[in-house]
Amino acid sequence: MRNGTTKVQGEAKGDTITGHISRLITAHRVLGVRIRDTSKRMNGLATGHDKKLIDIHGVRMKKKVTPANIELYKIMIGMRWEGIAEKFMVTSFLALFLCLWEGLLRQGGLLSTNNKQRFHYRWFASLGSVFLVIPPSRQKERVTIHRLLVALTSSSSSILLNKPPIKNSANGDSDMIPMITAIHGRDRGEVVPGYWLAQHVLNRLMQEKNLGQEEAWKRPLFTDEKNDWMKERKAKAVWRLAVEKAITLRDNKKPSAETVKKYTLYSNKTGKKVSMDYADTISGTETRMIGAWAQMGGDAPYSRPTTSAMQRAHRATNSQSITCME
């Protein structure tokens, strides 16, 4: 059997072997065909096989993605995107990458991950998933072109994105806190994901202005050049090209293919969590509210998100640059 990571025939992991044998045993039992109990032999085979691989190759380090960081985003925001994406799509891609970072989101909730998948606004991020809080109001409001223009020109507005029920809330009974982040701060030289999301949603609503407001809210949050739901493979390709150019500009030399390969869309989410781990001012409560794992105290069920605390935590991570090994 082939190893799923190395693609080498005959180097499958032990749990792959036991998994295949277990399914074979189950099939025999379902069909009523007698089969001897092979559990001891099966476990011995798997253990022996894993040990043999160590004899052959030694200990293999588990491959991990390289976390993204604020320095990389700053270069991407300021660089030219010729040969990477069409000019009118740059804001969309920056909004996508920075949303994955800011909300610790999985791309499976934002993008089409296979050709058979059909978009549904209740399962995936749509324009209706985005809300605004425009002071002095404390109420979240649905996005409209007018409200976005007001939010982009006021000094303390926030943008919210309801997280899709993609992994731990498939039954729709979710207590996930929305991504809550500020729209302003670019004048202080900060990376502001909320600004790029607001600009992107404004562009998207302009694209869908021929639809009624209710119908526009049901459209995908991220679409491609043809206004179809954006495919994951398209976003992956653009991300790799953007990373390659950003690293080239940073280091004054083109990175190796292996270096670029370690940057995946998941690098955005991983980068945010790494930055939060190294930020001294972020509490466990704030970490959980943003969407990452943190050790839970006894009072955690009573915690509630506050806009000011969320924005303070985001600012703490978005103003520091943690550089990991590549």
Q: What is the pLDDT of residues 100-117, one digit of tens each?
A: 999 999 899 999 998 888
Sign of CA dihedral 165, 182, 235, 6: negative
Query: What does the pLDDT look like over 223-252, one tens digit per residue?
Result: 999 999 999 999 999 999 999 999 999 999
Lowest mean pLDDT among 11-25, 247-261, 310-324: 11-25
Peptide bond into 301 cis (omega under 30): no
> What confidence score (pLDDT) does residue 25 get?
76
Given a cut of 90, whether residue 18 has pLDDT beyond it is: no
Query: What does the pLDDT look like over 50-80, one tens digit per residue?
Result: 666 677 667 766 778 899 999 999 999 999 9
- pLDDT category, 218, cuts 50, 70, 90? very high
Query: What does the pLDDT look like over 75-103, one tens digit per residue?
Result: 999 999 999 999 999 999 999 999 999 99
Burial 145-177 (b: 16+ CB within 10 A, else e): eebbeebbeeeebbbbbbbbbbeeeeeeeeebb
Given a cut of 80, whether residue 138 has pLDDT beyond it is: yes
167 within 8 A of 299, measured Cβ to Cβ: no
> What confidence score (pLDDT) does residue 288 get?
78
Given a cut of 90, whether residue 143 has pLDDT beyond it is: yes
> What confidence score (pLDDT) does residue 117 get?
86
Given a cut of 60, whether residue 156 has pLDDT beyond it is: yes
Mean pLDDT estimate for the chain: 84
> What confidence score (pLDDT) does residue 9 get?
58
- pLDDT category, 24, cuts 50, 70, 90? confident
Given a cut of 70, whether residue 41 has pLDDT beyond it is: no
* 3-class secondary structure per residue, the chain: CECCCCCCECCCCHHHHHHHHHHHHHHHHHHCCCCCCCHHHHHHHHHHHHHHHHHHHCCCCCCCCCCCCHHHHHHHHHCCCCCCCCHHHHHHHHHHHHHHHHCCCCHHHCCECCCCCCCCCCCCCEHHHEEEECCCCCCCEECCHHHHHHHHHCCCCEEEECCCCCCCCCCCCCCCCCEEEECCCHHHCCCCHHHHHHHHHHHHHHHCCCCCHHHHHCCECCECCCCCECEHHHHHHHHHHHHHHHHHHHHCCCCCHHHHHCCCCHHHHHHHHHHHHCCCCCCHHHHHHHCCCCCCCCCHHHCCCCHHHHHHHHHHHHCCCCCCCC
266 phi/psi in degrees, rounded to 5: -70, -15
- Residue of higher predicted confidence among 324 and 226: 226
* Residue appearing with tokens 């001897």: 36
> What confidence score (pLDDT) does residue 44 get?
63
| Residues forming beta bridges with residue 132, ordered by sequence position | 141, 159
> What confidence score (pLDDT) does residue 75 get?
96
Given a cut of 80, whether residue 259 has pLDDT beyond it is: yes
In sequence order, which residues have a C-beta less than 8 Å from that of residue 122 and are 6 or more positions away? 172
Query: What does the pLDDT look like over 160-209, one tens digit per residue?
Result: 999 888 655 555 555 578 899 999 877 666 899 999 999 999 999 999 99
Query: What does the pLDDT look like over 117-131, one tens digit per residue?
Result: 899 999 999 999 999
- pLDDT category, 276, cuts 50, 70, 90? confident
> What confidence score (pLDDT) does residue 34 get?
75
- Residue of higher predicted confidence among 301 and 130: 130
Among 120, 122, 127, which residue's Cα sits nearest to residue 159?
Answer: 127
> What confidence score (pLDDT) does residue 172 get?
54
State what percent of residues in the chain have pLDDT above 90: 52
> What confidence score (pLDDT) does residue 217 get?
97
Among 21, 231, 14, 219, which residue's Cα sits nearest to residue 120?
Answer: 219
